[in-house]
Chain A
Amino acid sequence: GDSVTQMEGPVTLSEEAFLTINCTYTATGYPSLFWYVQYPGEGLQLLLKATKADDKGSNKGFEATYRKETTSFHLEKGSVQVSDSAVYFCALSDQTGIQGAQKLVFGQGTRLTINP
């Protein structure tokens, strides 16, 4: 079945550092890809998405490009802030359930801590 693999955490960076969180996937068909963020004590929030190859999703300074050739959707930010400390989840939409509800497959999450 479809699956998502994220880089192992936790990741600790200093403020203003460059961030990359790797995400690769295996899927049949052409899934949409997502990054979600979870701040302490909260649910998951959609951060960005891309629906087809070569699309770039962006939001709040974060970016990720849908790379079909490498089956990747790495999350990047040029200069992180303390407020970016959270858990980040990569996900894809499972194409097997053409009828009915969407079904997202999530990675295991990567905890990011930014130190001042």
Chain B
Amino acid sequence: ETGVTQTPRHLVMGMTNKKSLKCEQHLGHNAMYWYKQSAKKPLELMFVYNFKEQTENNSVPSRFSPECPNSSHLFLHLHTLQPEDSALYLCASSQEFRRGQQGYTFGSGTRLTVV
């Protein structure tokens, strides 16, 4: 148990489907992150939230829509995805910067396949 829980672990969706990924942490962290990990590519930071406010969006296509209702929960809403969006989507959480640099705690990821 890493402290960050992602559901589902695996997801297969068609290009016309709408689905959501969920991330939950009870570590008392105030920052949450979405990363995309594709085969043979570096980790790609997608979104950053701090105290529920989005502080970074790294030019992510609008077919990915994040939602952070509170500091413990983070969602990634997916619609009209493309096959190249197939990847492992990782959620992470951390303390905010001024409380020390302890690094991130990652979830186990959601393996997404777009067919």
Give A residues with C-beta under 8 Å from B.
31-32, 34, 36, 41-46, 49, 51, 89, 91, 93, 97-104, 106-109
Contact = CB atoms under 8 A, between A and B. Distances in A.
Contacts of B98: 98-99
Contact of B55 (A49, A51, A93, A100): A100
A100 B50 contact: yes
Contacts of A107: 42
Contacts of B50: 100-101
B5 to A, nearest CB: 11
A100 B90 contact: no
A89 B50 CA distance: 24
B108 A102 contact: no
Interface string B76-103: 0000000000000010101111100111
B59 interface: no
Given A102-B31, A108-B42, A109-B42, A97 B103 contact: no
B60 interface: no
B66 interface: no
6 contacts: A36-B106, A42-B109, A44-B106, A46-B105, A100-B96, A109-B42
B46 to A, nearest CB: 13
A36 B37 CA distance: 14
Contact of A42 (B33, B56, B108): B108
Given A93-B101, A97-B97, A98-B98, A103 B48 contact: yes
Given A34-B103, A101-B31, A102-B104, 20 more contacts: A31-B101, A32-B101, A32-B103, A43-B92, A43-B106, A43-B108, A44-B104, A44-B106, A45-B106, A49-B103, A51-B101, A91-B103, A93-B97, A99-B98, A101-B33, A101-B55, A102-B94, A102-B97, A103-B48, A106-B42
